Amino acid sequence: MSFTSLLSTKIVRAASIADAAFDAVVLVGSQESVTQFGAIKQVSAIAPVVDKFLKLHNGAFHSTSLVQVDSSVVPSGRLILAGTGHVSRDYDDVRRYQAAARKGIELPLGWSQISSLGYSPKFSFPECGACCCSRSSHTSLYPTQCARGGKQAEVASTWTLGRKFKLVELHSIVLKQFLTLPAVFQVGESDTSSQLEKLVAAYDASFTVCRDVGETGPERMAPPRVAEYVQGAFANGNIKVTVVDDQSVILKDFPLMAAVNRAANAVKEHQARLIRLEYVGEGETQDTFFVVGKGVTIDTGGCDLKTGGHMFGMCRDKYGSAVVGGFFKAIDVLKPKNIKAVGYMCMVRNSIGSRAYTCDEVITSRSGKRIHIYNTDAEGRLTMLDPLTLAKEEALKAKNPHLFTVATLTGHEVLSYGYYAAIMDNGPAKASGWARKVQEVGDEFGQPIEISRLHPEDFAFHLAECEQADLRQGNTKPSVATLRGHQTPAAFLQMASRIDEHGTDSSHPLKYTHIDMGGCEGDHPSVSFPNPLVTLVAGLVLPHV
């Protein structure tokens, strides 16, 4: 699978907005930015056109409009004015630009084959260029793997003909001068625009990997097929991929993961896979990241069966692993220095059948903790637990390690935060200030993330109620009917993996962060928005690029 086959569209630089290769110029801006267009040399010729149009339609910057412009300025005669609306109120953020850019890109999709040049000034938000270029247009252009027939060789032609879009062009001079990325690139350097292109391409490819794994149905992306896809996506790259497919090994080394997949094992095509991704950057390692993702290809609920239509869309219960795959694709492209990253994609299918695991079972985990099963529909924490324990074992020997779990884990998180992921730090991670730092990064890059805290009762909740077990998995109620329903699983994962034995008071503290995505990727079957992939890449990878 080639790198270009993972891009939703080709990205090249343009010399001028007067380049005849373009069928349109997309201008993303706000009412506050109108007076500044004339002072910007590269787009000053458009300013009189915008001024004239605003006299006819003074609400233009609150909508998306197609404006006719003289062909001597823009050869195609087309200017798409994509207004952001207000951007200066206390609650406005960079996503105003993101939404405007997406509408600007979607407007010409009904035309025949097109090429468009996108321009957005930074003004209030320094990261609006990355938001506009790397996320909005690619969301509009992404065709699902199912629509592509699952055949990577056909991707290029399908994306052009099926989506009626040929190129998204970036104006290098404007981007260099006005789309500053202070946390990533040095402003004013001659290679700023090429660096931005690389960042956009990295995000685009990572989005494709994430969406292909996360959105595709339970047969096309059953565990073995996810493994095959990942091996293809990282072939001949910078990521080492190892797949554990021996079910006897999974049963021995990852007993809880095996339990969740027990009913599905009767079908060879549904057997579990543990996919390990590893990257070692150039130079001495300064930071080591271990990222474990929940990968339930379809969640029936198991014996605690989902009823009343609640199973619909559960093919996205593997989106935690999908984010892990996308995260490593960004690493593969950007090649950050001085870090090591290890990922575990825990691919299972929570089926129902005569061999299904049930409540009342007590299963001994990799860490030696005995886990009492209360609810088979709380399978995500079980799926990740043993790989997390393995990651903890590796972290004890690593340089400045930080462990993560990423999962679409609870409905409680959705009720609490809507379409925003929640992060929960243990003591060492909290002491490092990581949550606050990454929250600021998420705000800058248009993918906000919320912070939840853990309290003593979250840990007490999971203590066993009988002598035959050390911990209870949860309770018999759904998370939405459980007090602190999205916080307690983070405590469980720490206790069951023994990460809690490496707190701030220990001789060997380990940083650990649990990320409950809830449903922040969006509702099935609409095209998803990889979340919190953007924030994780910006917070963990870009500082090392």
- As annotated, the active-site residues are 306, 381
The DSSP symbol for 463 reads B
Round to whole Å and give the CA distance between 144 and 257.
28
Q: How far are the Cα atoms of 67, 97, 132, 324 from residue 28, in angstroms, in the given order?
A: 13, 7, 8, 32
Which of 68, 98, 100 has its CA nearest to residue 83? Answer: 100
CA 198 to chain CA centroid, Å, is 18
Token pair listed for 48: 């009189």
Torsional sign, CA 195, 280, 249, 320: negative
Round to whole Å and give the CA distance between 273 and 158.
30
125 touches 94 (CB < 8 A): yes
The β-bridge partners of 450 are: 422
Which residue has 């040399």 as its token pair? 41
Q: Which helix (H) or strand (E) holds 290?
A: strand 287-299
382 touches 482 (CB < 8 A): no
Name the packing angle between helices 223-233 and 319-334 (round to 10°). Answer: 10
Q: Which helix (H) or strand (E) holds 459?
A: helix 456-460
Report the 10 Å Cβ neighbour count for 432: 16
Residues 6 or more apart whose Cβ sits within 8 Å of residue 507: none
Round to whole Å and give the CA distance between 63 and 29.
10
